[in-house]
Amino acid sequence: MQIRKTFAKNTFNLDVMREKLPGKVFEKLKRTIQHGENLDTSIAEAVAHAIKEWALDQGVTHFAHWFHPLSRGTAEKHDSFLSIHENGGVFERFSASQLVQAEPDASSFPSGGIRTTFEARGYTAWDSTSPVFIISGENGGTLFIPSVFISYSGEALDTKTPLLRSMKTLDRETKKLLDLIGIRTERVISNLGPEQEFFLIDRDYYLQRPDLILTGRTLIGGESPRGQKLEDHYFGTIPSRVVTFMRDLEEKAYSLGIPLTTRHNEVAPRQYEIAPIYEDTNLGTDHNHLLMEIMPDIARSHGLEVLFHEKPFKGINGSGKHNNWSIQTVEGINLFDPGDDYDSQLRFMLFISVVLNAIMKNGHLLRAAIAAPGNDFRLGANEAPPAIVSVFLGSTITDILDRIESGDYNDWESLDKSMEIDLHELPDLLIGNTDRNRTSPFAFTGNKFEFRAVGSSQSLSIPNLILNTIVSSSITEVTKLLKKKMKTMEKNVAILEVIKELYSKSKNIVFNGDNYSQDWVVEAEKRGLPNLRTSFDALQQLIKKDSIKLFEKMEVFSKKELIARYNVDIHHLGTLILIEGNTLLNMLDSEIVPAILEYFQIIGISEVSGLVSFDKIKGNHAEMFEELYTKLTELRELVTEVKSQDDDVEIARRGVSEIRPAIEELRPIVAYFERNLPSDLWPYPTYVDILHRY
């Protein structure tokens, strides 16, 4: 495979547009894509014709609007190019109206109350800023058109629409601030570079685990004696079977224009990571969605199964989706790059202060951005940041801010240093302006912020639209403050005063130490930082009056849309936990308890008094079985009771606070029998099987 020949060959990208479209049409469409101008609908017919001819040349028979509903993941409805002449003959047709708009049934998608069952009309509309692409199979291909999804009454029913709104708001508000400090730009965008972690296990083992199939995680399983204790998997040699999978994945990704550059072993056994080059946040989000779609099919062709759940195995690291985020102008100025001169570094410190102010005031919303059922098992564990949102800046930048606050800072030092290595064979190393803090949920890493707490299964739309929104709000506030100070001060003096004021109010959000330590939990409480331990707690932040007011002011969500999303997420959380409870009950009833009873017969326990008392028992088995049966009964009654509720909020609350703890109480008891039963009697693959027998 030659990357340069493969890359983006299945996308209708700028190079293809330049070749296929009339010159004036191409220039108009390019300005929409690159500069955010409104789409000129008069060119749609020419574009649709060019796309059709290009697609037909590649064996495409159908097209589909590809969108991101609130049900998570993506959705599509395929229509053929088939049309019929009046004389009965057939021909391929793809009109402007088919390109620009479609009408899927909106009543069957979750809407959080925006739509009802009898109100079915919804619309998808072409997002021309994300390239049309083709996915081919053995029997032809399908043309996919990235689209937004809105209701008949105009509300967003997807995650793309509010993300695009947040990018528009960020562009508008940032240009005002840049204009005030003397920087002209045509457009400001946020950039995204997500690091996708995942597990890759043998599919045969996966198919024998109902819990993995139905919930994405193992509800039972004794920890492997080896686990990740030897610390030998991280960056180790990638197994040949996995390399083969990754090469096939990369070839497919390259053909779709997804710029993957990195692959490596992660910390836990059978855990891996891939990462792309940075892109516009909307395109990067689309590409991550697409990547998560193609990975399972490619894995299955190699007898493997991809697990995106944040914590599929207890006792080893879970998976995140490290969200590397920055802001830049279309002319190429990264607002989080310190630069080499005083003005650039002053601008840099101003935007660092903007972010600190945003998170100090709205860290609870950033926590809501990572509210995902699986993330609750990962956040605060040894491999992931805690649920307390803080910012890591590193000693150099923190020291500069401290000096600005105290008023004794007179000149800028270089924010880059070099390290001399006392080996003549090696060059000096250029050291960045900050170390890396793997324990921080939101860390500055040189020219970007790494939002490390995002869950591996999540759509990147919500974390980034919330990040864009709270930073836009902070920029609006800072622009007003700076404008006021510049009435009486020289510009650079006014900027320093604004930085000083912002930092004085927001420095409590800065923490450069070990976020995993219990001392930090205590310290964070003293600082007044919220510790929203569960997704249920975090989701409540979305519907607070101040949150609704913020999203409405920034023109990202209406009150109705925001409450709808809360309703969808709460329903999803409660429903998934009920599925977890019922799945575990089924596994215990159908396989585990019968296996234990068969074992008891084999070892000579023939007389049973009741269900939990045995006349003959060896060791601790009777006591453990009694505890198992008691907790099994308690879980069954609890799941039945919670399921009978007609309030989604109450189901989710009790699911988090009662059902999940009850599930976890059963885990060590089941693990006891997993260890003691002969392997030919135990009905499910163990952690040793899944993680170490490959």
Please give the average per-residue pLDDT across 428-449, as a whole number: 76
Residue % of the chain over a pLDDT of 70: 92
166-555 has CATH 3.40.50.300 classification = no
Q: How confident is the model at residue 508 (pLDDT cuts 50, 70, 90)?
A: very high
- CATH class label, 3-156: alpha beta
Of 33-47, 211-225, 338-352, 424-438, give the lowest mean pLDDT range: 424-438
Q: How confident is the model at residue 462 (pLDDT cuts 50, 70, 90)?
A: very high
- pLDDT 10s digits, 350-402: 999 999 999 999 999 999 999 999 999 988 655 566 789 999 999 989 999 99
Burial degree of 148 (CB within 10 A; 0-12, 13-18, 19+): buried
Q: What letter would DSSP give residue 514? A: -
- pLDDT 10s digits, 633-663: 999 999 999 999 999 999 999 999 999 999 9
Torsions phi, psi of 563, nearest 5?
-65, -35
Half-sphere exposure of 250 (CA within 13 A, CB side): 18
Give the angle subtended at the CA of 598 by the CAs of 595 and 604, to the nearest 5°: 145
> Taking the model in full, what pTM does it have?
0.93
Distances (CA, A) of 27 to 14, 238, 584: 10, 45, 58
Q: What letter would DSSP give residue 592? A: I
Instruction: Select 572-692's CATH number: 3.30.930.10, 3.40.718.10, 1.20.120.1560, 3.20.20.140.
Output: 1.20.120.1560
Alpha-helix residue ranges (DSSP H) falling in 407-460: none
Sign of CA dihedral 279, 281, 285, 290: negative
Domain borders along the chain are 3-156, 166-555, 572-692
- pLDDT 10s digits, 514-544: 988 889 999 999 999 999 999 999 999 999 9
Domain pair 3-156 / 166-555, same fold = no
Instruction: Yes or no: say if 693 and 679 are a contact pair by the CB < 8 Å rule.
Output: no
Q: Would you say residue 610 has pLDDT above 90?
A: no
Q: Can you count the helices (H) and strands (E) in the chain? A: 24, 21
Three-state SS at 209:
coil
What six digits make up the tokens of 516?
């995993």
pLDDT of residue 410: 58
Q: Would you say residue 174 has pLDDT above 70?
A: yes
N- to C-terminal Cα separation, the chain: 27
Q: How confident is the model at residue 71 (pLDDT cuts 50, 70, 90)?
A: confident
Q: Residue 690: which of 223, 229, 201 has the closest Cα? A: 201
Please give the average per-residue pLDDT across 213-234, as a whole number: 88
Helix (H) or strand (E) holding 665, with range, is: helix 660-676
Distances (CA, A) of 337 to 287, 329, 340, 449: 25, 12, 9, 11
Instruction: Yes or no: say if 234 and 266 are a contact pair by the CB < 8 Å rule.
Output: yes
Q: Residue 291: which of 471, 517, 135, 424 has the closest Cα? A: 135
Residue % of the chain over a pLDDT of 90: 76
